[in-house]
Structure 1
Amino acid sequence: MSITSISGLLSNYSRLSDSSPSDEKDPHLHMRPDIEAGTTTQKNDERKTWRFVDGRTVSDAIIGLSDGMTVPFALTAGLSALGDTKVVVFGGMAELIAGAISMGLGGYLGAKSEEESYKATLRETQDQMVTDPASVTTTISDIFEPYDLPSELVSQLTTHLSSSPMLPSFLMNFHHTLPEPSDSRAVICALTIALGYFIGGFVPLVPYFFVGPTDAFLALRWSIATMVVALFLFGYGKTCFVSGWTGRRNVRKGLVGGLQMVLVGGVAAGSAMGLVKGFQVLAQRSDDGKHE
């Protein structure tokens, strides 16, 4: 592996926003064959094509939708045991709003904590570069050690990176393995989780808007049918998004993921309905005891 290949590998990692490239750099780091340059350009074009798909945003959406499709559904299914449609709708909407706000705030605080942790680690790394440069040099060598590179190449890379303004970025990416969070990460995380939770939880409530005030059980049947389909599609899509959409193996994984999602939602809804029904029976026995 040549130094040009190593430079191509390092170029795949993000740079710190507050770092500026040096005017004087090793010219060898910019010398690449035409074939390698063409391959790198093609890979960069592919990354640009998929840049709109943010893995973290997708993960946040999955978290919001997953909770929204189970918790509110279980609540509305449990409240349906009371037989009053208005109670189900009002209780479901209250839970949706409160749950979305709570989930959004949790996502916001979590992203802020991640940002603060990154900044603290960056400050420690920068302080270490000033107070203990020898340990930083050792750390650089340790990073390249698992790749079985020639000692001369490792020495050259270590020497270059030790005096490079991009050293903090290199250490954050390769030593601490912490990507730099964007400034809008916390807000996007909060909105994505909250919106996903609300959308996922609103689906089981839809049938209750189209039935009479005492037809909660009828709406429950439609809600169950709707949620079975929604949970299966969500589980299938979530699994195939990770493993792939084509191929018999990926389709089988998607089917298993969809069935697992339906099972989880069914257990949650059944447990909620059982608890509400149990409380209702206890309340009726208590009333009967008072009348006696």
Structure 2
Amino acid sequence: MSISSIRELMSSYSPVSEYSQPDLEKELHVSLRNGSDTDSSVGSTGSVGRGGSEKKESKIVDGRIVSDAIIGLSDGMTVPFALTAGLSALGDTKVVVFGGMAELIAGAISMGLGGYLGAKSEEESYRATLKETKQEILTDPASVTETISEVFEPYDLPAELVGELTRHLSASPNLPSFLMNFHHTVQEPSGSRAWVCALTIALGYFIGGFVPLLPYFFVGPHDAFSALRWSIATMVIALFLFGYGKTCFVSGWRGHQNIRKGIVGGLQMILVGGVAAGSAMGLVKGFQMLADAHGHDKH
């Protein structure tokens, strides 16, 4: 494999934000191991690059957005459910509704702020790492050369080719991008990442927490226990579907093994939500008994 094909490969990923790190590493790995002829390597590289672009363009939902939505929904389906179930022990529907709505709003704001600050910290960390990398390239080129060689070491390339690649990259303006992708293995966050993360987590939390609260809007002021039964039934279904969908989104939707994993994931979500709700109900009931006992002692 000649250096011209490597140059073509390097030029295909020069902007850090074009590809994710695993795609870059896979592309480089395949090209280095399979390409022996210059023209065929360049052609295959070009097709891979175009394929990567097409894959990105056809991508419907960003993986990070899905992850943020799962975080928000997961917390929203357990914490507010546990709170409303615990407040139901008081038997007052208004208390459950007002307390649940207050927790939903406060929790969504808190979760959204947490996601925003986390994304901002990620951006700051990326900028600091990039600045440090550029500074190292200027002040310690020998260390950078050694780092480049270490990046190619797992691919078992000939020493002559590694040396040629190292010399080429050392003088390339794309060296910071190469080091960020292959050495530091960090991806450049988008400019709107913080706001998207905050809104996705907050909205997921609110939607997930509103599901168990919904039955309380359709019962009388003192029918909290009746609404609790409907809330539990609704949440059992919702938790199972959420756990099933979350698991199958990662492992796949088809096949007996993936279906079994989805069922196990759904049952685990039901178990987690049940333990949280049971614990909250027990604590509220215990506090209520203590308050009643304290009131009787005063009389």
Fold equivalence (TM over 0.5): yes
Structure 1 residue 217 and structure 2 residue 225: aligned?
A: yes
TM-score normalized with structure 2 length? 0.88
- Match of residue 124 from structure 1: 132
Change (3 A) 1:180 1:30: farther
* Amino acid aligned to 2:143: S
1:35-75 CA distance string (max 9 Å, x none): 6644553454234322x321111111110000000000000
1:290 offset after TM fit, Å? 1.3
* Structure 1 match to 2:259: 251
- In the TM superposition, 1:1-292 aligns within 5 A as 15-16=15-16, 32=41, 34=43, 37-38=46-47, 40-50=49-59, 52-291=60-299
Structure 1 pair 10–223 and aligned structure 2 pair: CA distance change class (3 A): farther
Question: Structure 2 CA distance, aligned partners of 1:2 and 1:267?
Answer: 61
The answer to whether the 8 A contact 2:133-2:176 is kept is yes
- Structure 2, unaligned runs of 5 or more: 18-36
Contact 2:243–2:266 (CA<8 Å) still a contact in 1?
Answer: yes
Structure 1 Cα separation of the partners of residues 39 and 128 of structure 2: 32
- The 3 A distance-change label for structure 1 pair 64 and 250 is same
Q: Choose between structure 1 and 2: higher helix proportion.
A: 2
Q: Secondary structure at the match of 1:234?
A: helix
* AA partner of residue 150 (structure 1): P
How far residue 7 of structure 1 moved from its aligned partner, in angstroms, is 6.1
The unaligned stretches of length 5 or more in structure 1 are 18-27
Q: Which residue type is aligned with residue 83 of structure 2?
A: L
Are the equivalent residues in 1 in contact too, given 2:72–2:208 (CA < 8 A)? yes
CA contact (8 A) 2:77 2:205 kept: yes
Q: 1:149 to 1:54 in 2, by over 3 A?
A: same
- Asked if structure 1 preserves the Cα contact closer than 8 Å seen for 2:2 and 2:38, the reply is no
Residue-by-residue CA offset, 1:205-259 (whole Å, 9 max, x unaligned): 1000000000000000000000000000000000000000001110000000000
Q: Write the distance in 2 (CA, Å) between the matches of 1:161 and 1:30.
A: 21
Q: How many residues align?
A: 280
Moved over 4 A (4+): 1-14, 28-31, 33-40
Residue by residue, what CA displacement relative to the aligned partner does 1:89-128 show, whole Å, maximum 9, x if unpaired? 0000000000000000011111111111111111110001
The farther-off stretch of 125-134 and 40-49 is: 40-49
CA distance 1:120–1:286, change in 2 (3 Å): same
Q: Is the 8 A contact 1:4 1:31 kept in 2?
A: no
Distance 2:254 2:211 in 1: 28
In structure 1, what is the equivalent of residue 32 of structure 2?
none
The 2-side partners of 1:65 and 1:89 are apart by 19
Identity %: 75
Change (3 A) 1:29 1:218: farther
Counterpart secondary structure, 2:187: coil
Change (3 A) 1:38 1:173: closer
Report the CA distance between 1:12 and its aligned residue: 7.3
Closer, same or farther: CA 8–221 of 1 in aligned 2, 3 Å: farther
Separation of aligned partners in 2, 1:281 and 1:33: 76
CA contact (8 A) 2:14 2:174 kept: no
Quick one: distance in 1 between partners of 2:5 and 2:269? Answer: 44
Say if 2:243 and 2:268, in contact at 8 Å, map to a contact too. yes
Equivalent AA in structure 1 for residue 181 of structure 2: N
Q: CA deviation at 1:155?
A: 1.2
SS at match of 1:197: helix
Q: Is the 8 A contact 1:14 1:180 kept in 2?
A: no
1:20 corresponds in structure 2 to: none
